[in-house]
Amino acid sequence: MNKYSAQELAQMSSQVRRDVLRMVHGCKSGHPGGSLGCADFLTALYFNVMDHNPNFQMDGINEDLFFLSNGHISPVFYSVLARSGYFPVAELASFRRLNSRLQGHPTTHEHLPGIRVASGSLGQGVSVAAGAALTKKLNQDNKLVYALMGDGEIEEGQNWEAFMFAAHHKIDNLIVTIDLNGQQIDGSTKEVLGIGSDVIEKLKAFGWLVLEMDGHNHEAILETMNLAKTNTGKGKPIFIVMRTEMGYPVDFMMGSHKWHGVAPNDNELANALGQLPETFGDY
């Protein structure tokens, strides 16, 4: 696949965000806030960073793999998969509807191309990604494994087991990004269960190489992801702290946790779409 430039990624991100809002509005449920916040990153992953094959094979030999741990941002995941050729874009309209392959949270159960494990119950994706990365090593497959997790999700204890495991076993073909938007369902992450000293120091202490980036700047995303790639194979798993804003860039959706799991009504949808140019055609 042709690698998109930062400018092309910005255009695709706008379309992906339109998909997200229209999908969530269409079924009157889902999680728009985190989906919008991660749209720039996931677009960059699927249209530039990763070497992947839309002719989906579960085993993913000799291609980069991606695992979404915070499965509730399924709308953005489905959009980038469809837009990069895994399944027809028109199928996005079936999101969360009966008999759909686009379940509320991603699943392999309905055989949607691009999904390699179910996620939704939080805290499991880093373990799965670490396992897949180990398998790549056993297969002498030099491609990489990527994962995305939420920041509220880091409260789940299994993540810390996985952090210890990946560092101990020197799983250095694994790049985990955390969506640090500071929000979770009951409020800010600081209010709900503060992580104490910051996540960067914690992950460093767990033996990971930690990088930081602005999750809404495609040039910064590409630069950081390339830096991460050049640091694979050096004995440490890589953790990227990505600062985002939930709901970005829709003005009335930013700055609070209100839009974590609420669908916009007709007027709100029109308002939001007015802020996001239709660049590649709505589904």
Partner 1 sequence: MKHFEIQNTKDTRSGFGEGLLELGRKNPKVVALCADLTGSLKMDAFQKEFPDRFFQVGIAEANMMGVAAGMTIGGFIPFTGTFANFSTGRVYDQIRQSIAYSGKNVKICASHAGITLGEDGATHQILEDIGLMKMLPGMTVINPCDFNQTKMATIAIADYDGPVYLRFGRPAIPNFTSTTEPFVIGKALMLNEGTDVSIFATGHLVWKAIEAGHRLAEQSISAEIINIHTIKPLDGAAILASVAKTRCVVTAEEHQLNGGLGDSICQLLAANLPLPVEMVGVNDSFGESGTPDELMKKYGLDAENIVAAALKAISRKG
Contacts to partner 1 by CB under 8 A: 58-61, 65, 67, 107-109, 116-121, 123-136, 138-139, 141, 157-158, 161-162, 164-165, 168-169
- Taking the least distance from each CB to partner 1, the nearer of 169 and 254 is 169
114: amino acid identity, one letter:
G
Pick the closest to residue 65 from 166, 170, 175, 165 (CA basis).
175
CB of 114 to partner 1, least distance (A): 13
CB of 271 vs partner 1, minimal distance in Å:
36
Instruction: Taking the CA atoms of 246, 250, 255 and 261 in sequence, report the sign of the dihedral they define.
Output: negative
d(CA 34, CA 38): 6
CA of 24: how far to CAs of 38, 73, 93, 98, in Å?
15, 11, 9, 15
Cβ distance to partner 1 smaller for residue 137 or 204: 137
Assess contact for 146 and 171: CB atoms under 8 A. Answer: no
167: which 2 tokens?
Answer: 């560092």
Please identify, using beta-carbon distances, which residue of 1 and 58 lies nearer to partner 1.
58
| Residue in 93, 100, 106, 101 with CA at minimum distance from that of residue 23 | 93
Nearer to partner 1, 114 or 264 (CB): 114
For residue 179, how far is the Cα from the chain centroid?
8
d(CA 123, CA 144) in angstroms, rounded, equals 21
* CA trace torsion 21, 23, 24, 30 (10° rounding): -120
Closest separation in Å from C-beta 128 to partner 1:
4
Q: 60 vs 215, which CB is nearer to partner 1?
A: 60
Query: From the CB of 162, what's the least distance to partner 1, in Å?
Result: 5
CB of 135 to partner 1, least distance (A): 4
- Rounded least distance, CB 71 to partner 1, Å: 9
Nearest distance in Å: CB 215, partner 1 = 25
Between 119 and 177, whose beta carbon lies closer to partner 1?
A: 119
Report the residue count for the chain: 283
User: 10 or 130, CB closer to partner 1?
Assistant: 130
